[in-house]
């Protein structure tokens, strides 16, 4: 019988910790998860052996794939080429927003999605762009049509735009139900 694969949430958390703390072992990773408020709410924690197995898999990936899991730092993330300098203003805005919400640093992949959404809809509220970036970061294959509709409809632009968007939008199916 094969091993169960770890939930995508945990896989990203393991990859982020491994990318940002290359020498961190499975026991120390589990201890860090205990302090993370996103992790504390979960009841499907991976075992230390599972964490170690996925850390080894991550370390075997090429560096271009690993860099997306590193946390955004100005100016290092730009100097190293993880993000283009054109993304600096949007990603600094994202860092400020997350700091105000007392949230952690975003990884490069999430920052890249936020920057792309900012290019497409610079007048959209920061919280909305961040929420859409999270959806794309979590699973970009399932959201393009819905997010395209949000970008085109621009419900934040006016009450009329919001009403028109609501009248034509398809519900998003997310874990736990529809929105």
pLDDT surpassing 60 at residue 173: no
Confidence class of residue 133 from pLDDT cuts 50, 70 and 90? very high
Q: Choose between 18 and 159: higher pLDDT.
A: 18
Residue 160 confidence (pLDDT): 84
pTM metric for this prediction: 0.84
Domain boundaries, the chain: 8-61, 70-178
Nearest-angstrom CA–CA distance, 87 and 109: 12
Q: Across-strand partners of 71? A: 107
Mapped onto helix, strand or coil, the DSSP state of residue 92 is helix
Q: Are strands 173-174 and 177-178 parallel, antiparallel or unpaired?
A: antiparallel
């Amino acid at each position: 019988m094969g091993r169960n694969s770890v939930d995508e949430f945990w896989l990203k958390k393991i990859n982020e910790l491994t990318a940002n703390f290359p020498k961190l072992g499975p026991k120390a990773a589990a201890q860090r998860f205990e302090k993370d408020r996103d992790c504390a709410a979960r009841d499907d924690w991976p075992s230390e052996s599972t964490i170690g197995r996925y850390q080894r898999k991550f370390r075997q990936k090429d560096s271009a794939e690993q860099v997306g899991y590193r946390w955004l730092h100005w100016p290092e993330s730009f100097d190293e080429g993880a993000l283009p300098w054109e993304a600096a203003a949007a990603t600094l805005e994202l860092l400020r927003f997350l700091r105000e919400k007392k949230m952690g640093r975003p990884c490069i992949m999430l920052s890249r999605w936020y920057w792309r959404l900012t290019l497409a809809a610079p007048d959209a509220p920061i919280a909305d762009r961040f929420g859409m970036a999270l959806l794309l970061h979590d699973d970009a294959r399932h959201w393009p049509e819905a997010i395209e509709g949000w970008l085109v409809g621009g419900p934040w632009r006016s009450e009329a735009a919001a009403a028109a968007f609501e009248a034509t939008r398809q519900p998003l199916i997310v874990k736990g139900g529809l929105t």
